[in-house]
């Protein structure tokens, strides 16, 4: 019985070391595979009690585990949509085949890195068919509120490279010096005019015409102007008229003393903004606060537009797509517009090593891993997303080769035990002779 148990234990040892050898060979074979997580084989002894005076070898069993929580180092690339997770968390992906079926059931898989590029349909996918998923942005670039404990809000990230985009002008800052001599009784000056381009909601170029007409008194100087705003999108209609009074005292001379609204949006003395309205909607027209020299001034004898600034851009073509550290997929246009089109969250589970391992360095949530939660990258326990980067294999080739030597020795030792048991059984058989 004892000899037979020795034989069985050695056979179990051969099988266990063969299993470990398979894990080692898989690790070494994937030492250059981006995002690969090494497999590890653990040995567990089996004890069989036969009472005093005898011992029965129980043998050995193995368990295999994929160490998903072990991360490889990050290496830089030249592709902006090569992504890697730095820290805790995983990227949500799905399979190309599930998108092709179009039955509404898109499973969520996980991965820690991927080289994503647009395919013929615009989806960001890897060469192995994993498609990046994220929350779609609204028209203004904001992300709506989606549930964090379900993947229902996630969609495959799809890039339309032929997309056009523009931003309407909503704010405008004007710094102009008006000639003080034009408001004197001896002045023969007429109105001063200025045309400022802006972009409407459809990206078309329009203009806001600003006319400054001095009030010429019978004697002395009035230091008063009438400012009229006309909108080209409204057929040149007046959208605002204001009476500007400038200070002529020492210290604050030449700055705005008061702004009186004749028609149009009201002037806010705290911010220096006129809440005007053009054909496409409201437009904040900033002329400066009272007593400030940063907006409209009245000095000397020259009309001088000092500074004109505004937001908004014309319609432009998409030139590139990048993913920032917080997971926002940003499209850049040739006009300089940078717009958020998706947000890629990071998926976290309580037991990351409990995930089910699938092909192409992807994983699926299981009861052993626990329920998942979708975090904003960089929030909570998660790390951030790194573009222009890939995660290398977690395999340590030197360590695997060392384990290979140990496994070979253990396998040979078990084989030697079997040979010894065979010789002992042969000696037992020879007793009868």
Pair (335, 239) in one structural domain: no
Domain boundary among 311, 330, 358: 311
pLDDT at 54: 75
Pair (218, 277) in one structural domain: yes
> At residue 419, what are phi and psi to the nearest 5 degrees?
-65, -40
* CB 264, CB 220: distance < 8 Å: no
Pair (330, 424) in one structural domain: no
* CB 27, CB 395: distance < 8 Å: yes
What is the residue range of 273's domain? 169-311
pLDDT at 165: 75
Residues of the chain with pLDDT under 50: none
Pair (178, 278) in one structural domain: yes
pLDDT at 55: 73
Pair (128, 244) in one structural domain: no
Could you count the other beta carbons within 10 Å of the beta carbon of residue 333?
21
Q: How many domains does the chain have?
A: 3
Pair (188, 240) in one structural domain: yes
In a 3-state reduction of DSSP, which class is residue 110?
A: strand
pLDDT at 58: 74
User: Is the whole-model pTM more than 0.85?
Assistant: no
Pair (225, 320) in one structural domain: no
What is the distance, to the nearest Å, from the Cα of residue 262 to the centroid of all Cα atoms in its chain? Answer: 48
Pair (303, 195) in one structural domain: yes
Q: If residue 20 lies in a helix (H) or strand (E), which one and from where to where?
A: helix 2-29
Domain boundary among 311, 338, 364: 311
Pair (127, 40) in one structural domain: no
Pair (136, 238) in one structural domain: no
pLDDT at 368: 95
pLDDT at 426: 86
Pair (284, 379) in one structural domain: no
Pair (176, 306) in one structural domain: yes
> At residue 88, what are phi and psi to the nearest 5 degrees?
-80, 150
pLDDT at 425: 84
pLDDT at 405: 96
Domain boundary among 311, 328, 363: 311
């Amino acid at each position: 019985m004892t000899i037979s148990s020795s034989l069985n234990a050695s056979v179990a040892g051969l099988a266990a070391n063969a299993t470990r050898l398979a894990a080692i060979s898989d690790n070494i074979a994937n030492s250059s595979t981006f995002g690969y997580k090494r497999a590890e084989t653990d040995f567990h002894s089996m004890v069989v009690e036969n009472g005093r005076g005898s011992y029965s070898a129980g043998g050995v069993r193995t368990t295999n585990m994929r160490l998903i929580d072990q991360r490889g180092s990050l290496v830089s690339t030249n592709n902006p949509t090569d992504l890697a997770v730095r820290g805790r968390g995983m990227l949500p992906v799905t399979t190309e085949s599930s998108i092709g079926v179009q039955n509404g059931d898109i499973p969520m898989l996980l991965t820690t890195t991927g080289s994503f590029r647009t395919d013929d349909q615009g989806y960001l996918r890897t060469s192995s068919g994993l498609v990046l998923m994220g929350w779609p942005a609204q028209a203004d670039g904001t992300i709506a509120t989606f549930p964090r404990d379900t993947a229902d809000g996630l969609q495959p990230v799809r890039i339309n490279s032929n997309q056009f985009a523009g931003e309407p002008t909503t704010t405008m800052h004007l710094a102009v010096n008006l000639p003080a001599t034009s408001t004197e009784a001896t002045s023969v000056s007429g109105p001063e005019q200025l045309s400022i381009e802006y972009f409407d909601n459809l990206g078309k170029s329009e203009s806001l015409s600003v006319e400054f007409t001095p009030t010429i008194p019978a004697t002395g100087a009035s230091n008063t102007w009438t400012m009229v705003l006309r909108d080209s999108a409204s057929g040149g209609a007046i959208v605002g008229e204001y009476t500007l009074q400038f200070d002529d005292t020492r210290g604050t001379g030449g700055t705005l003393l008061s702004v009186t609204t004749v028609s149009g949006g009201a002037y806010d003395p705290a911010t220096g903004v006129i809440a005007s309205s053009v054909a496409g909607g409201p437009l904040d027209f900033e002329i400066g606060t009272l007593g400030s020299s940063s907006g409209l001034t009245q000095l000397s004898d020259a009309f001088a537009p000092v500074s004109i600034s505004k937001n908004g851009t014309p319609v432009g073509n998409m030139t590139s797509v990048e993913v920032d550290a917080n997971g926002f997929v940003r499209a850049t246009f040739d006009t300089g517009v940078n717009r958020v089109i998706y947000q890629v969250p990071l998926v976290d589970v309580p037991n990351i090593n409990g995930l089910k391992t699938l092909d192409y360095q992807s994983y699926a949530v299981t009861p052993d891993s626990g329920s998942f939660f979708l975090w904003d990258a960089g929030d909570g326990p998660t790390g951030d997303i790194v573009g222009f980067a890939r995660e290398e294999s977690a395999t340590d080739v030197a360590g695997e080769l060392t384990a290979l030597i140990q496994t070979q020795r253990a396998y040979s030792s078990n084989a030697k035990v079997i040979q010894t048991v065979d010789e002992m059984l042969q000696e037992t058989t020879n007793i009868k002779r």
